[in-house]
Structure 1
């Protein structure tokens, strides 16, 4: 039982890191698409539309059930709503802020989750995890190296809203962890689709699919990164608690900076390397802490 709990925790954290790597492509490619005139909500709408199509295809091929226990409907609806609003807010924030600032503000969400976890889940308060979250956040801030001059309050508000909504997303996903992956993907995206369409209608940002050809590579990378990242995220949050999973996602901006350096030729300085090392150290400490916690839980149950 001890080994099974530790193994599940390791698997969940590995999936979370894989998701972070996939999502790391999103913010870079989303900004490139934004420069071509494609808004964040527009990209969210089309990638959700594609995800729904793929999930429906998988359901028909594997004859999977889409049944969800009635007690999980509210959590699943909240998961879909918070996912839609998080994506729209974060991807829209880079229209008003540099990616670096948007990332630092957004990545306060692991700290919010760690602080709120004792109140919203069975997890007890852990000073170790709070310290790890602060170290990871410091590392993220060093990696992205934000420039705080001349900031647009609209961008700050969007990035901060995305941070709070991301925390809601993680907790709501944990509430429906026992729901199957395919029904979870289907019903959450069925909620996300009309939400993003309503945002596009209210903002007047809707464009026909042909508009995606303005930046085909950036759009393809953004959508592909989302499809893989979201699938892995859903699988991770079914295996590991919100706090440890959120800390693993601090690796996302590190991946994003690495991608920008390799493919866009952006320079990476000593401070960013040091920040990346801090994030990696925090993730390793998080893995060790979660393994110890997973080994203790079965013993307590007995």
Structure 2
């Protein structure tokens, strides 16, 4: 059966979401290496926003792209920019109170939230099979990350949950501003992200001049480059596929992180992590099959 334009767009969207998850998974490794060299997370966010704005400005000039926002796209674009800024800030702040593994498991409840909220916020119908897939993927993420139950703090749990809710809102906002072309979407969203990162960096008191990047140039390049690629692919994916399907693909992000850490940093994986990774991969494959069935036209 030949796939139609809608089916092809959905398949492209899921593929782009998986590629974005792989980039963001690599980003965590780069951020970890940069942190070990003394470059904090907020500092990385601050400088990568400037780099994104510079690159988008060059692209706009070379392509002679219009920076106008289409009618009716202003509010969802503002929501996308603000949620993009706040989701990372909340997640980053949560690990100051709870272990990273606990924060990650709480944060990756956002695909389940998206599947539950999608029928309320979009024309999509509630899909029990997609909810089952989301729960299986979440179980896989929990097994891969392996949360510890010690050192739990309500402040950390609340921040991680806030990051999850913000991530869900970010996906819906990105879907709502799908008609905004790529270049203005990247430009205006990062112009909204910039003041938020400046405030956060001012609050934590971790500003360092650009010369500080010289202490870990490769780690900075990895953390920045993978973020730029991951964000670009995420925006492209959410312009082609519904938030629920895209969110399930992003469950692969911690799997990529753990796998890359095992190869690059020499971290050892246990049988439980392998089993969790298999659950996530199986859930993503089931999601792809489900999307293909949804895209098939009804028989005459």
Q: TM-score range by the shorter chain?
A: over 0.9
Q: Distance in 2 between matches of 1:228 and 1:168?
A: 21
**CA RMSD of superposed structures (Å):** 1.8
What corresponds to 2:250 in structure 1?
249
Tell whether 2:220 aligns with 1:200.
Answer: no
What corresponds to 2:132 in structure 1?
131
Q: Distance in 1 between matches of 2:121 and 2:215?
A: 43
Would you identify which runs of 4 or more consecutive aligned residues in structure 1 move more than 6 Å?
none
Deviating more after overlay: 205-214 vs 235-244: 205-214
SS at match of 1:70: coil
Tell whether 2:188 aligns with 1:187.
Answer: yes
Q: Distance in 1 between matches of 2:210 and 2:122?
A: 41
For each residue in 1:259-293, what CA deviation from the matched residue of structure 2 results, as whole angstroms up to 9, or x when unmatched?
A: 11001110111111111010000000101111111
Q: CA 1:122 to 1:2, structure 2 compared with 1: closer, same or farther past 3 Å?
A: farther
For each residue in 1:46-81, what CA deviation from the matched residue of structure 2 results, as whole angstroms up to 9, or x when unmatched?
A: 111100000000011111111111310010011000
What corresponds to 2:101 in structure 1?
100
TM-score computed with the length of structure 1 as normaliser = 0.94
Q: Distance in 1 between matches of 2:92 and 2:36?
A: 12
SS at match of 1:82: helix
What corresponds to 2:150 in structure 1?
149
SS at match of 1:151: coil
What corresponds to 2:288 in structure 1?
287
What corresponds to 1:42 in structure 2?
43
Q: Distance in 2 between matches of 1:195 and 1:225?
A: 21
Q: Distance in 1 between matches of 2:30 and 2:102?
A: 16
TM-score computed with the length of structure 2 as normaliser = 0.94
SS at match of 1:157: helix
Q: CA 1:168 to 1:9, structure 2 compared with 1: closer, same or farther past 3 Å?
A: same
Mapping 1:1-302, distance limit 5 Å = 3-296=4-297, 299=298
Q: Distance in 2 between matches of 1:214 and 1:157?
A: 34
Q: CA deviation at 1:160?
A: 1.7
